[in-house]
């Protein structure tokens, strides 16, 4: 099964795996799952690192993607169009893009963010 990882899940998996729920941890370890990370998440990491909100370097991000065997999912025109009809349950623009992307791709999201569960049709694993 394809799984889209929320940005926080990538950070937890690398820096503090004990913060992952048992269900999320099992999903990440399951070799039958294809782990994907939105290109939006990489932009979020870079932006937040540059303004001092996160202590993540480009090399750490690259290594995390490689170590966890994650495919980077490009953010497309169709993904962006999903934002037009997306209810404003969540105000974070990065999370809204990840939600829109998961809905467009029809894949579950692995996320600790409870607001993700407010979106109809979005399966959240945590």
* pLDDT tens digits in sequence order for the chain, 126 residues long: 999 999 999 999 999 999 999 999 999 999 999 999 999 999 999 999 999 999 999 999 999 999 999 999 999 999 999 999 999 999 999 999 999 999 999 999 999 999 999 999 999 999
Domain boundaries, given as residue ranges, for the chain: 2-125
For residues 75 and 60, give the distance between their C-alpha atoms in angstroms, rounded to a whole number. 21
Q: What CATH homologous superfamily does 2-125 map to?
A: 5'-nuclease (3.40.50.1010)
- The three-state DSSP-derived secondary structure of 34-57 is EEEEEHHHHHHHHHHHHCCCCCCC
Helix (H, G, I), strand (E, B) or coil at 29: helix
Alpha-carbon Rg for the chain in angstroms: 14
Residue 37: count other Cβ atoms within 10 Å of its Cβ. Answer: 24
pTM for the whole thing?
0.95
């Amino acid at each position: 099964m394809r799984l889209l990882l929320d940005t926080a899940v990538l950070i937890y998996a690398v820096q503090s795996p004990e913060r992952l729920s048992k269900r999320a941890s099992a999903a990440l370890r399951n070799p039958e799952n294809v782990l994907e990370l939105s290109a939006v998440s990489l932009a979020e990491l870079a932006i937040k690192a540059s303004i001092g909100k996160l202590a993540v370097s480009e090399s750490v991000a690259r290594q995390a993607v490689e170590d966890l065997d994650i495919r980077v999912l490009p953010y497309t025109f169709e993904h962006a169009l999903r934002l037009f009809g997306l209810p404003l349950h969540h105000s974070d623009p990065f999370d809204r893009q990840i939600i829109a992307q998961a809905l467009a791709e029809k894949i579950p999201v692995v996320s600790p963010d409870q607001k993700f569960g407010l979106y109809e049709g979005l399966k959240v694993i945590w």
